[in-house]
Amino acid sequence: MPWYKQAYDWVERRVQLEGFVKESAEHPVPSKTASWWYVFGSASFVLLLLQIVTGILLALVYVPSAGSAWSSLQVLNHQLPLGWFLRGMHGWGSNFMVAVVLIHMCQVFLFGAYKFPRELTWILGVFLLLMTLGMAFTGQVLRFDQDAYWGLGIGASIMSRVPFIGRQLVEFMLGGPIIAGATLSRFFTLHVFVIPATMLAFASLHVWLVLKLGINEWPTPGRLVKRETYIQEYNELTHKDGVPFFSGAIWKDAMFSAGIVLAVAVCALLLGPIGPTGVPDPTIVQTVPKPDFFFLWIYSALAFLPPSIETPVMLIAPVIGIIVMLVLPFVAGLGEKSWYRRPVAVLLVVVLAAGFATLTHLGTYVPWSPQMDGWSADPVPVHFVDQTKPLERQGAIVFQQKQCRNCHQMGGLGGRRGPSLDDVATRLTEDQLVRQVTQGGGNMPAYGKTLSPAQVTALVAFLETLHPSNQPVAIDASRHVAETNNPAPKEPVEAIRP
């Protein structure tokens, strides 16, 4: 007996896996399921493995610290041979994984594969989808660039809307009140330990169930799933009309997975690694922050929801969505599987797909997400400055240079992240304007460090002119009284700054 056969026998006598592997490989699957429709699950698994391998390699170089994360990605991109390609594979792999997992889910839903007795397989799948999205989000944060910063900011602002415990949730997520080093450590831990470990466990169990329960048969209109008879019928089907998984069905899976990995490699090669975009700094407003494509729809949904229902929709819709997915196999777990006889299911998939696609497309240009270069050259409209004093006019120039209109509309033009400033002077007093500009807050960056006191004075003087001519500017009532009783020279603006 050759030495390797002896070694194999030695191990096999101890682990006794041969029977199991053989049985799994040769288990009969209904011949019609050896179809191109059935390849997305295995492709998701292959992509998961690809992400693990490329992720481990990246972790060898990546430094999970706020000060060095961004530059360690620069090292990967520009200094290490093929580092850029590795980052490309991992980044595009994640995009493909989200897409393939979603397609897999649609296919399973349309083919009724979540029905009895595969309810638990579906439920594990729902959690796997959530974890895939969780990996995508945490991964995006690890880039720790402008996009990550804004992505986190939006995540935090959604969290902060949770009643009662919003602030605690945000602090829990960010590891403190602000996005900082602790935030990165937290997301690193999630991205490389917590979620992947859970995901591997869930994915293994998911595959185990697929092996144990058999792959879903090709749905035939009129053949109903009944709790009493289904398993027997399935076994008869696979005995009469089954092919061994290996090698009857597996080659299509293998070919598709190989094709997907190749597509990831081609994207990495041609389109390169994703980011990092600029260093994260809330006062640098030069980049176009964009989340990866699978979160774009959130941006546009936020842009189009009327503010009054934003919070309830944002907090309740995802919970409802997840609950609906989890209870689906229990309320629709029997009966018809074929999509020919399930028009509502088909319609639902079409409507959801069209909805998400439209929102995603809109997400590429809706103004809610600040367009950080969109208005840089746009001067302040003339009628806002034509009757102003020199100081106020200087303020208009500061306003223009600092590109406040990336986020604020003026005269109907500009971003819509913050409120329109056309009549801001009727809402805020001088002090409040100074505070808003220097300290920011409520999703607006603080400009205290990037503006000189003189610039702040001029800017605020300009903002003070922004009110309709028939409406007075807002004034601080207490100060007004104090001043009329005891006229004193106005405090210089600088004195108010901390």
Distance of CA 453 to the CA centre of its chain: 38
Query: In this complex, which beta carbon is closest to ligand HEC, that of residue 54 or of residue 406?
Result: 406
- CA–CA separation, 16 and 30 (whole Å): 28
- CA–CA separation, 369 and 406 (whole Å): 9
Residues 47-106 that bind ligand HEC (CB under 6 A): none
Segment near ligand HEC (CB under 6 A), from 8-16, 69-77, 168-176, 415-423? 415-423
Query: How far apart are CB 44 and ligand HEC at their closest, in Å?
Result: 37
Tokens 């009628």 sit at which residue? 383
Q: Which of 73, 267, 285, 325: binder of ligand HEC (CB under 6 A)?
A: 285
- CA–CA separation, 16 and 263 (whole Å): 38
| Site for ligand HEC contains 411 (CB under 6 A) | no
Q: Which of 188, 463, 464, 465: binder of ligand HEC (CB under 6 A)?
A: 463
Dihedral-angle region of residue 335 (phi above 0 means left; psi in -120 to 50 means alpha; beta otherwise): left
| Site for ligand HEC contains 144 (CB under 6 A) | no
| Site for ligand HEC contains 427 (CB under 6 A) | yes
| Site for ligand HEC contains 407 (CB under 6 A) | yes
Tokens 């490389």 sit at which residue? 192
Query: How far apart are CB 37 and ligand HEC at their closest, in Å?
Result: 45
Copy the structure tokens of residue 98.
């989200």
| Site for ligand HEC contains 418 (CB under 6 A) | yes
Tell me which residue of 63, 60, 85, 82 sits closest to 73, measured CA to CA.
Answer: 63
Query: How far apart are CB 86 and ligand HEC at their closest, in Å?
Result: 33
Copy the structure tokens of residue 81.
């041979």
| Site for ligand HEC contains 417 (CB under 6 A) | yes
| Site for ligand HEC contains 408 (CB under 6 A) | yes
Dihedral-angle region of residue 275 (phi above 0 means left; psi in -120 to 50 means alpha; beta otherwise): left
Other CB atoms within a 10 A radius of the CB of residue 242 amount to 21
**Angle at CA of residue 363, ends 146 and 283, nearest 5°:** 25
- CA–CA separation, 161 and 143 (whole Å): 26
| Site for ligand HEC contains 444 (CB under 6 A) | yes
Per-residue contact string for residues 362-401; x = within reach of ligand HEC by CB under 6 A: --------x----------------------------x--
Residues that bind ligand HEC (CB under 6 A): 285, 370, 399, 402, 404, 406-408, 417-419, 421, 424, 427-428, 433, 436-437, 441-445, 447, 459, 463
